[in-house]
Amino acid sequence: MSPHDPPSVRGVRATVHLYHPDDVVDGLLLEAQWAGGMPFLRTAEVPGSVDDPAQLLQGGILRLDQRNRVNRALVVEYPGALPAVTVADGMTRVSVVGAELDIVEGLVERVSTGARELVVQPKGSLRMAFWSYGDGVGQMSMRQVSAPAWADASGNYARNTAGGLASLMSLTSVDGRSGRLVLWHGEPGTGKTTAVRALSRAWADWCRPHYVMDPEKLFAEPNYLLEVAGAHGDDDEGDDDRWRLVVAEDCDEYLRSDAKLRAGASLGRLLNLCDGILGHGLKVLVLLTTNEDVGRLHPAITRPGRCLSQVEFEPLSPAEARAWLGDGAAAPEAPVTLATLFAQRERRAHAATRREPQVGGYL
């Protein structure tokens, strides 16, 4: 028996547990690689959905065609190569295993190029990475999220807030600028999350957004922090030269003046990532939001030179609120949050469309 025989010949065979129909795609590719004839695997992702992936894989032998209400998967066999195209979560993913590297890379390039030409890109959306921590490692998933243009969203903010955000939205690079931290603070309901999506869209050409769903784990687990920051270089972005914007919302306990007592070394890791050795050589920015007043934040966070931008999200003044609501709306007598204005507008719209009950009908 030759030492070059595939593992299955040497008495070892892969076992693939299929818990869901989607697992069949991975099972087919793994089986092809495990058999020993197709050692090369390359992948690519294209933002958006291709309506008919069969247009991308023509002329081969159909091995798999799955379709459900929102997802589609296709695997086609070519001589010496097995390409797969899956369409899910607003993304078109291409995977190819094969016997020769140049054929595999050529197929990935051809299919992904074709996907970009056919993709249905949702208007007003962008690709965002979402991170969570589990089983000792960071887990990333990609999704298309809706994102307003800043020109459309700017009218939702108080004058001072909009001015601070406008200068940030207009950036096309941060090369050569000091400060890697973007700090947004203000009471709940002032539009910080909407501004995150608008900033992600404004920076999409040069910076990728990475949203952290569990910031308490991000700063507590050093390896997780390095994964999210891109230090390992093992995610799907490959050699993409864009910056990375790490977004963590509601980080109050890590930013207060007593943060070191509350969260241990978390504050130190955060600052080290922004302008210390930990972040050296990484093209990473950190955007943190908090509901705390700036006067209650740790001085190490707010010291001069640390922040690329620091914006306070103020409630709208009575005059700004009246202009936002338009004619016929009740005029607020005190500053009011954006969330309150949206609720007031919805109640007014509901009242305008509500029908009066007919006399004599059932109660």
Residue 56 has a pLDDT of 95
Nearest in space to 286 (alpha carbons), one of 253, 240, 241, 255: 255
Residues in the chain, total: 363
Does 210 score more than 90 pLDDT? yes
For the chain, give the mean pLDDT: 83
Question: Angle formed by the axes of helices 338-353 and 318-325, to 10°?
Answer: 40
Query: In Å, what is the CA distance from 103 to each residue of 54, 86, 106, 134?
Result: 19, 20, 5, 36
Does 355 score more than 50 pLDDT? no
Residue 142 has a pLDDT of 80
State whether the Cα torsion 119-123-127-131 is positive or negative. Answer: negative
Nearest in space to 97 (alpha carbons), one of 67, 75, 113, 117: 75
Q: Rounded to 5 degrees, what are φ and ψ at 119?
A: -65, 145
Residue 203 has a pLDDT of 96
- In the chain, the DSSP E strands lie at 40-47, 61-67, 72-77, 81-88, 91-98, 125-134, 137-146, 181-185, 207-212, 243-248, 284-290, 307-312
Does 360 score more than 60 pLDDT? no
- Global pTM reads 0.71
- Give mean pLDDT, residues 139-148: 87
CATH 3.40.50.80 fits domain 125-312: no
Q: What letter represents residue 289's amino acid?
A: T
**How far is 355 from 363, CA to CA, in rounded Å?**
14
Residue 363 has a pLDDT of 34
For residues 81 and 111, the answer to whether their CB atoms sit within 8 Å is no
Residue 1 has a pLDDT of 45
Residue 121 has a pLDDT of 66
The domain made up of 23-118 has a fold known as TATA-Binding Protein (3.30.310)
**How far is 236 from 248, CA to CA, in rounded Å?**
21
Nearest in space to 37 (alpha carbons), one of 8, 74, 73: 8
Task: Express each pLDDT in 215-224 by its tens digit.
Answer: 888 888 888 9
β-bridge mates for residue 74, sequence order: 65, 85
**How far is 240 from 210, CA to CA, in rounded Å?**
14
Residue 191 has a pLDDT of 95
Residue 233: which pLDDT band, with cuts at 50, 70 and 90? low
Quick one: how many helices (H) and strands (E) in the chain? 13, 12
**How far is 103 from 240, CA to CA, in rounded Å?**
23
Domain coordinates in residue numbering, the chain: 23-118, 125-312, 318-353
Task: Express each pLDDT in 4-44 by its tens digit.
Answer: 555 554 556 666 677 677 788 989 999 898 888 899 999 99
First CA to last CA distance, the chain = 85
Show Cβ contacts of residue 111 under 8 Å, excluding neighbours closer than 6 positions.
44, 56, 57, 83, 85, 94, 96
* Lookup: tokens for 288: 């943190």
- Give mean pLDDT, residues 243-260: 78
Residue 239 has a pLDDT of 43
∠ Cα 151 153 158 (to 5°): 110
Residue 200 has a pLDDT of 96
For residues 142 and 128, the answer to whether their CB atoms sit within 8 Å is yes
Does 108 score more than 80 pLDDT? yes
- Give percent of the chain with pLDDT exceeding 90: 45
Residue 358: which pLDDT band, with cuts at 50, 70 and 90? very low
Residue 348 has a pLDDT of 60
Residue 361: which pLDDT band, with cuts at 50, 70 and 90? very low
**How far is 32 from 98, CA to CA, in rounded Å?**
8
∠ Cα 155 161 164 (to 5°): 110
Question: Angle formed by the axes of helices 266-275 and 222-229, to 10°?
Answer: 30
Task: Express each pLDDT in 64-86 by its tens digit.
Answer: 999 987 789 999 999 999 999 99
* Lookup: tokens for 43: 């992948």
β-bridge mates for residue 78, sequence order: 81
- Give mean pLDDT, residues 60-64: 94
